[in-house]
C-alpha cells in the first residue's frame, strides 16, 4: 500500500526518497463490480425481523494485461440499513473472515483472509439511492495474479428487511483511490512491491438491487390419476410466500366454464417442498387445474391436466398377497363389462378360469386358490377394455 515519509534528518535525501519509496499509482487499471445476486424469500432464522436472504459476489479484473503478485486488496460494499442487515453472526463485530462473507476458492486457496467491519456508519448518495452503511476491510496474506478475466473475490450474505422488491434495498461499491466514479481513498489494490493500482467501479449508479419479484407460489408438479376412490389430484410447491389457499377447478372442454370443486388451505410461508392432494369425483373425461390465491387476493394457476377414467381399470388390488386359501381382486371399472379372468402359472399354463360380470365402479371378486400348488401366478383379463395383468403368490404354510 502507499508508504509515507516522515522524520528524515537529511534534506538532500528527501527528493531521492520520494522518488524511490513513494510509489505512485501504476498505469494499469482494475475494475470491480457486485454481481450474481440471488434471493430467498424466507426468514433465515424464523425469528424475524428478516424477510429473506440475499447473496451477491464481488468480482475484479484488470482492464488489460496482467498485474502480477497482488497481495493486498482494500475493499468492501455499501448498503441501506433500513432494508438489509448483517446476519446475527457475525453481526457488527470486526472479525477475520466473517461468517457471512465467503472467500472464493481462487482467493482462499491462494492464502488470503478478509478482516472487516460491516457496519461503518456514513451517508452517501449514489444516483437516486442513499446509503448509510459501509463494509470495509483488507484482503491479505496471499499472492494472486489479476488478469482481464473476471474473478470472484468473495460472496456476501445479507438478511433482507423489506416486504416488497427490492426486499434488501440496494448495494454498491465505490471506486478505489484515484478511480471513477465515487472515489473512496481507503479502497485500493497493491502488489508485493507496494505498487498501487487504480480501481474503477461498475456498480455505483445504477446500484445492485437486492431482492426479486416474488411469485406467491412456485408450483413444482401437478398430476391427475385414476384411483379406486376417485380421481386423485396431487400438486406440490417448491416455495410459498403469503399464500392463502388453493382452489381445485374442473372443466369439461379445458378452455372455459371452469368450476370450483374444492379447496385446500395453503402453507402461507415455506421455502421447502410441500405436497398437496385432493380426491375429485369420478368422471368419464374432464380437465383439472389448481388456482392459487395469496393473502392479498392475487391469483395464479397451475398447468391443466386432462384425465379420463371411464375406459380403463383405474386401479387393481390383489389381497392377501401372498395368498393361502382365498384371493380377492378389488378393481375400479369404468363401464359394465363381462370378462374371463385367467390364472396363469409360471410355465404359462392357464390353471383356472373365472367368469366375471362387472358393473361400473368399485368391484370385488373372490377366487379360491386353496388347491393351487404353492408358487407364482398371474391373473389376466381376456377383455381388452379391462387390462388386468397382476402377479400374486400362493403359499401353504
Model confidence pLDDT, tens digit, residues 85-108: 999 888 888 899 999 999 999 999
- Is the model's pLDDT at 379 over the cut of 80? yes
Q: What is the pLDDT of residues 193-216, one digit of tens each?
A: 999 999 999 999 999 999 987 677
3-state SS string for 91-135: CCCCEECCCCEEECHHHHHCCCEEEEEEEEEEEEEECCEEEEEEE
The length of the chain in residues reads 397
Tell the CATH superfamily of the 217-307 domain: Immunoglobulins (2.60.40.10)
pLDDT of residue 111: 96
Q: What is the mean pLDDT of the chain?
A: 87
Give Cα 294 to chain centroid, integer Å: 20
Half-sphere exposure of 254 (CA within 13 A, CB side): 9
Tell how far CA 328 is from the center of its chain: 46
Q: How far apart are CA 294 and CA 241, in angstroms?
A: 8
Helix (H) or strand (E) segment spanning residue 14: helix 11-20
Q: CATH 2.60.40.2550 occupies which residues in the chain?
A: 316-394
Tell me the pLDDT tens digit for each residue of 340-368: 899 999 999 999 999 988 887 788 999 99
What digits encode the pLDDT tens for the residues 15-25?
A: 333 333 334 45
Tell me the pLDDT band of 315, cut-offs 50, 70 and 90. low
pTM above 0.85, yes or no: no
pLDDT bucket at 218, cuts 50 / 70 / 90: confident
Strand 101-103 versus strand 217-227 pairing type: unpaired
Confidence of residue 69 (pLDDT cuts 50, 70, 90): very high
- For 316-394, CATH gives 2.60.40.2550
Percent of all residues in the chain with a pLDDT value above 70, rounded to a whole number: 89
Q: CB–CB of 120/93 below 8 Å? A: no
Is CATH 2.60.40.680 the classification given to domain 11-209? yes
pLDDT at 12: 34
Q: Where exactly does CATH 2.60.40.10 map onto the chain?
A: 217-307
Amino acid at each position: 500500500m502507499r508508504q509515507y515519509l516522515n522524520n528524515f534528518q537529511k534534506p538532500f535525501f528527501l527528493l531521492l526518497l520520494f522518488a524511490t519509496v513513494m510509489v505512485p499509482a501504476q498505469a494499469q487499471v482494475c475494475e470491480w463490480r457486485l454481481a450474481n445476486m440471488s434471493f430467498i424469500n424466507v426468514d433465515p432464522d424464523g425469528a424475524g425481523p428478516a424477510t429473506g436472504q440475499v447473496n451477491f459476489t464481488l468480482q475484479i479484473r484488470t482492464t488489460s494485461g496482467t498485474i502480477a503478485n497482488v497481495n493486498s486488496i482494500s475493499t468492501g460494499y455499501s448498503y441501506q440499513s433500513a432494508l438489509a442487515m448483517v446476519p446475527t453472526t457475525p453481526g457488527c463485530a470486526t472479525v477475520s473472515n466473517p461468517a457471512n462473507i465467503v472467500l472464493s476458492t481462487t482467493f482462499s486457496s491462494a492464502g488470503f483472509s478478509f478482516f472487516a467491519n460491516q457496519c461503518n456508519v456514513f451517508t452517501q448518495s449514489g444516483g437516486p439511492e442513499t446509503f448509510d452503511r459501509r463494509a470495509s476491510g483488507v484482503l491479505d496474506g496471499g499472492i494472486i495474479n489479476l488478469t482481464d478475466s473476471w474473478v470472484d473475490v468473495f460472496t456476501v450474505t445479507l438478511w433482507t428487511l423489506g416486504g416488497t422488491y427490492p426486499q434488501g434495498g440496494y448495494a454498491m461499491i465505490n471506486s478505489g483511490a484515484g478511480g471513477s466514479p465515487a472515489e473512496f481513498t481507503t479502497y485500493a489494490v497493491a502488489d508485493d512491491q507496494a505498487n498501487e493500482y487504480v480501481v474503477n467501479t461498475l456498480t455505483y449508479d445504477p446500484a445492485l438491487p437486492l431482492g426479486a419479484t416474488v411469485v406467491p407460489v412456485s408450483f413444482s408438479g401437478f398430476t391427475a390419476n385414476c384411483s379406486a376412490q376417485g380421481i386423485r389430484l396431487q400438486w406440490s410447491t417448491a416455495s410459498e410466500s403469503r399464500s392463502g389457499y388453493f382452489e381445485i377447478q374442473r372443466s369439461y372442454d379445458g378452455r372455459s366454464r371452469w368450476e370450483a370443486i374444492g379447496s385446500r388451505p395453503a402453507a402461507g410461508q415455506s421455502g421447502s417442498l410441500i405436497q398437496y392432494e385432493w380426491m375429485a369425483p369420478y368422471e368419464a373425461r374432464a380437465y383439472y387445474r389448481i388456482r392459487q390465491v395469496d393473502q392479498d387476493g392475487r391469483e395464479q394457476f397451475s398447468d391443466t391436466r386432462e384425465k379420463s377414467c371411464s375406459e380403463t381399470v383405474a386401479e387393481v388390488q390383489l389381497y392377501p398377497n401372498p395368498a393361502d386359501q382365498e384371493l380377492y381382486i378389488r378393481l375400479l371399472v369404468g363401464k359394465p363389462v363381462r370378462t374371463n379372468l385367467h390364472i396363469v402359472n409360471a410355465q404359462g399354463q392357464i390353471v383356472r378360469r373365472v367368469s366375471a360380470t362387472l358393473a361400473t365402479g368399485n368391484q370385488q371378486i373372490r377366487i379360491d386358490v386353496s388347491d393351487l400348488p404353492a408358487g407364482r401366478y398371474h391373473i389376466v383379463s381376456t377383455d381388452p377394455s379391462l387390462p388386468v395383468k397382476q402377479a400374486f403368490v400362493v403359499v401353504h404354510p
